Chains A and B, each alone.
Chain A
Amino acid sequence: MRRIPIIPLVIIIFFSFIAIFAPYISPYSPYEMALDDRLQPPFWQAGGSLAHPLGTDALGRDLLSRIIFGSRLSLLVAILALFLCGVIGAGIGIISGYLGGRVDIVLMRIADSTLSFPIILFALILMVAWGPMLSNVIIGISLVLWARFARVIRGEVLSLKEKDFIAQARIVGCSSVHIMAYHIFPNILNTLVVLLTLQLGWVIIVEATLSFLGAGIPPPEPAWGSMTADGRNYITTAWWLTIIPGMAIMLVVLAFNLIGDWLRDILDPKLRQV
């Protein structure tokens, strides 16, 4: 058995903590501009001060506060989008796998065509069509990512439905809906949990990418992706504006992936290729 990955766990707990308590721990409002204090460096750099520990951006907003509030957005989008993904993906996967036949063919071809599209491009098109908004980002990401869930879950269901206890449930007189909800679903929960954690990193990256491209969460919301984008113009003079939000994205994604790997190994070694 692999050991519990302590460091990733600490990182996730840390970011969840600052996300939940953002208004209480952030030193400034993330929207508050102070044009006198533009482009202040972090405190360890020459000219930096502890008044703005991570410095300020081009509009004089406190970077630390924006990172803290940004963690809220990132995790919120990730959790809601994954919830939707999980519901759609597991639902379609179970229906497709259990019912089989024509239903299966139609649903899986839809999933295939979704998968054959470059994710970012697809999400970008959706965003351009619907306009950048928090709810649109969440729905868009789930529409792009559900197919991965559906495919894996369907595979699992295909092997599950040949098991004797499913036949026994039919013999007892259970309806198909009942079997899917009470016999199949609990048995794919492991897989679903592993998939959710492994995809969490992906969702954060897609959201950050969309925000970076200006098609995600609209300004002045402090999304990590759009913060890296804003910092690009000052990369030679104020590198921290890009690097620090980038580091935040990297840390969270890495931590979730490591936790996901670990969960997969202890819950479901079969999934190793996913």
Chain B
Amino acid sequence: MTQLLLEVKNLKTYFFTRRGVVRAVDDVSFRLYRGETLGLVGESGCGKTATGLSLLRIVPQPAGRIVGGQIIFDGEDLLGKSEKEMRQLRGKRIFMILQDPMTSLNPVFTIGNQVFEAIKVHSNLPKTKVWSQAKEILRLVRIPSPEAIISYYPHQCSGGMKQRVVGAMGFSCKPDLLIADEPTTSLDVTIQAQYLRLLKEIQQWSQLAIIFITHDFGIVARMCDRVAVMYAGKIVEMANVGEVFDKPSHPYTVALMSSIPKVEIKEGKLPTLPGQPPGLHELPPGCSFFDRCAYTEKKCEAPPPLEEVGHEHWVRCWRHE
């Protein structure tokens, strides 16, 4: 857990639209060690998925572009690589699970075909070898009777099963980094629990590093070692999980925390955070949280820097000077 796998420095991914430049990922930096899980938390539209897509360099073209920064993966800068080199990394060393399992499999191919393809793209093994590997990997992700499932089409499978199939495609080449983009959001809670347990297990024996994109602090507490809270394209707070739960420091994190339902409190309304995140093409000049923050001061009209306030605990807020 000490070996550095990924270092993202000042990553900027912008979308150039007719309404202006959308700064989906704005100056994001973080580190990830082997076997570690980093939670990427935030509301919808705050740049979590765009961060994930940027790491794989598959930001939707032509509107989206990575305009700056560095992504150093295992010692090499991914932004300097050619498309061909990236292709060899994708699926083999970095994999991403998308949010909706219902649409992330090709409807016209069987489950077997798609797992087969994921392996075949990166190997020269003979076909029969690949097929047996595909079956093995499906068994690994707890697909019951892979021999039968292999000839099923995606529409014949349940959501949980499809998400496990996508997982199987990911683990087939034993990647070093898995980006899981809300992989359990569209699954029901029991399936969700199973899936998370499976991920944890696989992580334990494969030293897989995971970036877990979610907006569910329950999952964060369960899965992650560290958390980065994103707001309007920026990381506003980053710390170890325990630290974030014990002393959340950014007003946004505090607000998110207080809107988690708690078992012991039976009565009263759940506090909510009023308003919407700002449109990413018309950000306020200072702190992006300016409009919704309860502690706004004069100082907040200038953008706050990300500063270390405790051991490995970073906060982007003026209140911690």
Binding site for B on A (CB under 8 A): 100-101, 162-165, 167-175, 178, 182-183, 186-187
Contact = CB atoms under 8 A, between A and B. Distances in A.
27 contacts: A100-B62, A101-B61, A101-B62, A162-B60, A164-B98, A165-B104, A165-B105, A165-B106, A167-B98, A167-B104, A168-B166, A170-B90, A171-B56, A171-B58, A171-B91, A171-B98, A172-B90, A172-B95, A172-B117, A172-B169, A173-B88, A173-B89, A173-B122, A186-B106, A186-B108, A187-B106, A187-B107
A172 B121 contact: yes
Contacts, number: 64
B147 interface: no
B108 A164 contact: no
B87 interface: yes
Give chain B's interface secondary structure class.
loop
B90 A173 contact: yes
A100 B61 contact: yes
B12 interface: no
B92 interface: yes
Instruction: Give chain B's interface residue range (CB within 8 Å of chain A).
Output: 20 to 34
Contacts of A173: 87-92, 121-122
Contacts of A178: 121
Nearest to A182: B117
Contact of A167 (B58, B87, B91, B117): B58
Contacts of A183: 106
Given A165-B105, A168-B98, A174 B121 contact: yes
Given A101-B61, A174-B117, A174-B121, A168 B92 contact: no
A5 B190 CA distance: 49
Nearest to A178: B121
Give chain A's interface secondary structure class.
helix
A261 B43 CA distance: 47
Interface of B: 56, 58, 60-62, 87-92, 95-96, 98-100, 103-109, 117-118, 121-122, 166, 169
A173 B166 CA distance: 14
A164 B100 contact: yes
Contacts of B121: 172-174, 178
A77 to B, nearest CB: 32
A169 B122 contact: no
Given A167-B98, A168-B104, A173-B87, 10 more contacts: A100-B61, A165-B103, A168-B98, A170-B58, A171-B58, A171-B95, A172-B117, A174-B87, A178-B121, A187-B107
B106 A171 contact: no
